[in-house]
């Protein structure tokens, strides 16, 4: 039987590991099913481990991605996973699969991007591995920790909580379209969208403040798309949601780009992946007339958690939210 979806095979892998693998130690608090594994490392201290792969012709292509950008984005994706748990990054390991006959300069330019992103977040790269592969592959593991209040999980949202999102969303998808379909002139015209796709910056610098001010009941980063990642929170928490479609935060440039394309900017906001904004739930209510800004990054109320059902309200109408976002095997 062929793989149905990324999430279906992950669920089967989790069942296999839990039923046939080694017994979980008592200090392991979360394993497969969240952005990071979480384990107790001492009184009021929690360790976080996350790993991710970045594969040529799946996550990036050489004809529209500079090697520095590929390395930068790969590292930021991992840094974002630690931020999504309310933690701080400490160390990174980078393994690289290199095609036979690869140009040395290209590989070193990839590492320039990796180290640039890691330095921004204050994360030293402390080791790794290399191997020969058919295409370029980056496999990054990041270790971090969370303070006395512990890590923020996907599985602890409660009905009546409010749903918030940092920054603006949708621009990465717009930037990808420009990169793949646009002329050189259009790439310059829509530079902010292109940069958002090629050089996304994780919210590692505001995760601590969000944790303190909002006391999130659950959190995830937007890597596969708003709807896809919100569905992860709903599924893991056993809850539903009502998403305020008309309130989704999109940039002015994305609105202008969508108008030129004759598209709805909210569609971009719902499905755009590789945004690395933080999506979280909280008991705290901020009305639509109040917007909190943390380190120049806006935080916007975009919905509420319900007992069941995944719905979206747009133009005064409520419909099933459905699914959107990236799935490795559905796309294949």
pLDDT for the residue numbered 14: 76
Task: Indicate whether 259 pLDDT > 80.
Answer: yes
Is the pLDDT confidence value at 330 over 90?
no
Q: How far apart are CA 196 and CA 190, in angstroms?
A: 10
Asked whether the predicted pLDDT for residue 111 surpasses 50, the reply is yes
Instruction: Categorize the per-residue pLDDT at 332 as very low, low, confident or very high, splitting at 50, 70 and 90.
Output: very low
pLDDT of residue 328: 47
The structure tokens listed for 62 are 């050489």
Average pLDDT of the segment spanning 229-258 = 96
pLDDT in tens, 7-39: 677 678 777 877 777 778 788 777 777 678 898
Say what the pLDDT of residue 34 is.
66
What pLDDT does residue 290 have? 62
Distance CA 271, CA 228 (A): 8
For the cut 90, the answer to whether the pLDDT of residue 167 exceeds it is yes
Tell me what the mean pLDDT of segment 1-8 comes to: 75
User: Could you tell me which residue, 32 or 139, shows the higher pLDDT?
Assistant: 139
Kindly give, in sequence order, each residue whose CB lies less than 8 Å from that of residue 311, ignoring residues fewer than 6 positions away.
240, 241, 242, 243, 318, 319, 320, 321
Dump pLDDT digits (tens) for 290-329.
678 999 999 999 999 999 999 999 988 999 987 665 544 4
User: Which range, 14-23, 142-151, 233-242, is most confident?
Assistant: 233-242
The confidence score (pLDDT) of residue 197 equals 94
Contacts of range 52-58, beta carbons closer than 8 Å, 24 or more positions apart: 52/77, 52/78, 52/81, 52/139, 52/140, 53/137, 53/138, 53/139, 53/140, 54/137, 54/138, 54/139, 54/140, 55/135, 55/136, 55/137, 55/138, 56/135, 56/136, 56/137, 57/135, 58/328
Residue 43 has pLDDT above 90, yes or no: no
Q: How high is the pLDDT of residue 60?
A: 87
> Domains in the chain, start-ordered, CATH in brackets?
6-146 (3.30.1330.10), 162-331 (3.90.650.10)
The residue-averaged pLDDT of 42-68 equals 89
Percent of the chain at pLDDT exceeding 90: 73
Averaged confidence pLDDT in the chain? 90
Does residue 207 surpass a pLDDT of 60? Answer: yes
Please tell me the distance from the alpha carbon of residue 37 to that of residue 142, in angstroms, as a whole number: 11
pLDDT score at 174: 96
Supply φ then ψ for residue 134, to 5 degrees: -75, -35
């Amino acid at each position: 039987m062929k793989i149905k979806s990324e999430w279906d095979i992950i669920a089967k892998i989790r069942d296999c590991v839990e039923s046939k693998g080694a017994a979980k130690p008592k200090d392991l608090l979360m394993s497969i099913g969240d952005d990071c594994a979480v384990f107790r490392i001492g009184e009021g201290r929690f360790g976080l481990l996350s790993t991710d792969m970045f594969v040529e012709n799946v996550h990036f292509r050489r004809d529209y991605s500079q090697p520095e950008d590929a390395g930068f984005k790969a590292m930021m994706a991992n840094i974002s996973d630690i931020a999504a748990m309310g933690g701080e990054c400490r160390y990174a390991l980078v393994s690289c699969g290199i095609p036979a006959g690869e140009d040395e300069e290209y590989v070193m330019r990839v590492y320039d991007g990796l180290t640039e992103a890691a330095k921004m977040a204050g994360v030293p790269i402390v080791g790794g591995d290399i191997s020969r592969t058919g295409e370029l592959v980056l496999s990054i593991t990041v270790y971090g920790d969370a303070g006395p209040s512990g890590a923020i999980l996907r599985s602890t949202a409660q009905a009546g909580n409010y749903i918030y999102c940092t920054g603006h969303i949708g621009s990465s998808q717009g930037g990808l379209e420009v990169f793949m379909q646009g002329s050189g002139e259009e790439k310059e015209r829509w530079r902010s969208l292109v940069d958002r796709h090629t050089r996304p910056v994780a919210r590692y610098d505001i995760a601590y403040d969000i944790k303190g001010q909002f006391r999130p009941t659950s959190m995830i980063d937007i890597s596969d798309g708003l709807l896809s990642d919100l569905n992860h929170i709903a599924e893991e928490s056993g809850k539903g949601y009502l998403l305020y479609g008309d309130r989704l935060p999109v940039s002015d440039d994305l609105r202008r780009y969508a108008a030129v394309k004759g598209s709805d900017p909210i569609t971009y906001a719902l499905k755009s992946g590789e945004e690395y904004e933080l999506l979280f739930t909280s008991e705290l209510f901020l009305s639509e007339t109040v917007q909190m800004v943390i380190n120049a990054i806006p935080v916007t109320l975009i919905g509420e958690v319900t007992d069941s059902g995944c719905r979206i309200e747009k133009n005064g109408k409520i419909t099933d939210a459905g699914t959107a976002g990236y799935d490795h095997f559905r796309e294949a």
